Amino acid sequence: MENPDLKAWVDGWMEKVKQGAEVHRQQGPSPEDAEARDYAPADVKILTIAHVPESLQQAWLQHLRDFDVAHPGCHFEVMVDAPEMPLPDIVNMLAINPGLTFTKLLERK
């Protein structure tokens, strides 16, 4: 069954990706054009959907967290879509150091 919250989130991000691609095409990738852009480099968001095998899930999240900690200018928003995974398994997968800050847990029905 489709999760409307997940679909809305993905649709919103995909629209932002399309807008960003259009800006890139219009303005070109050269550094000389940076001043002409209507956004600051810090405003760039990269949407990645990772299909990760069970044996690598925690390692992938730890990799993201390590990168986040090593680069203070970065901020990651992580969403895990695992409708068949029991909640205790999700909690174990998310047990990384330093821990993640949670804002929402969405249940699929």
Q: Do 27 and 55 fall within a single domain? A: no
Q: What is the per-residue pLDDT for 92?
A: 83
pLDDT at 1 over 50: no
Q: How many domains are there within the chain? A: 2
Give the DSSP H/E element, type plus range, for residue 48: none
Same domain for 76 and 106, yes or no, is yes
Within this chain, do residues 59 and 29 fall inside the same structural domain, yes or no? Answer: no
Could you list the residue range(s) of the whole structural domain that residue 25 is in?
Answer: 1-37
Residue 80 has a CB neighbour count (10 Å cut-off) of: 14
Q: Are residues 25 and 73 in the same domain?
A: no
Q: Are 11 and 59 in a shared domain?
A: no
How far apart CA 1 and CA 32 sit, in angstroms, is 48
Any domain includes 43? no
Q: What is the pLDDT of residues 53-94, one digit of tens each?
A: 989 988 998 998 898 889 888 878 888 888 888 888 888 888
pLDDT of residue 27: 52
pLDDT at 24 over 60: no
Is residue 69 one of the residues assigned to a domain?
yes
- Mean pLDDT in residue range 16-40: 58
